[in-house]
Amino acid sequence: MKHLKTIAAAALIALGAGTASAASCTSSFTLGSMGPPGGALLGNTFKSAGDFTDCYSFSLASDAVALGLTLEFDVGSILNIDITKISLSGGTLASAVSSGVNAWIPGGTFFGFSGLGAGTYELAIAGSVTPQWGLFNHTGYNGVLTTAPVPEPETYAMLALGLVAAGWTARRRKQNA
């Protein structure tokens, strides 16, 4: 009987831990396998003010880097959207990693993550929607997430060998001239 209580308590704790991460997501989306290489579209629309965290789950089959871009839109200026944090967790990461939110174009956010291994990841895009004045009540963001393979060490070795060969050839031509 004592073991049954212990098993039941462990199951409740595990169930609670599993729902804790899902509770922080206001919307969840599945992107499937992202290769590498791979790509997927991101986006969500909002019709009322409030904070949001959109979570996108995807898997990688091998080492990769992930890059993305989001563009905010606001039809009619009733609501204003502001993306405040983009983070990645899961896979080979020991803990969640936040990407700097780089707004190098008006209404746009560029983000990137490197050193990713094979596994399942969750990209979280967090922000807030605040009331503004205008005619229409429609705001949101669209974006893209791409993954690219990390070059193998052999690729770097071949590049170095090619540079050495090109330098040797140029030097030899100079000596012969």
Per-residue pLDDT of the chain (177 residues; tens, 9 = 90+): 444 444 343 333 333 333 334 459 999 999 999 999 999 999 999 888 899 999 999 999 999 999 999 988 877 666 788 888 999 999 999 999 998 666 666 778 889 998 899 999 999 999 999 887 655 567 899 999 999 987 666 666 777 777 777 777 777 777 777
| pTM confidence score | 0.72
CATH number among 2.10.60.10, 2.60.60.20, 2.60.120.380, 1.10.150.170, domain 26-151: 2.60.120.380
8 A C-beta contact, residue 94 and residue 100: no
Q: Report helix, strand or coil for 171.
A: helix
Burial class (CB in 10 A: 0-12, 13-18, 19+), 129: buried
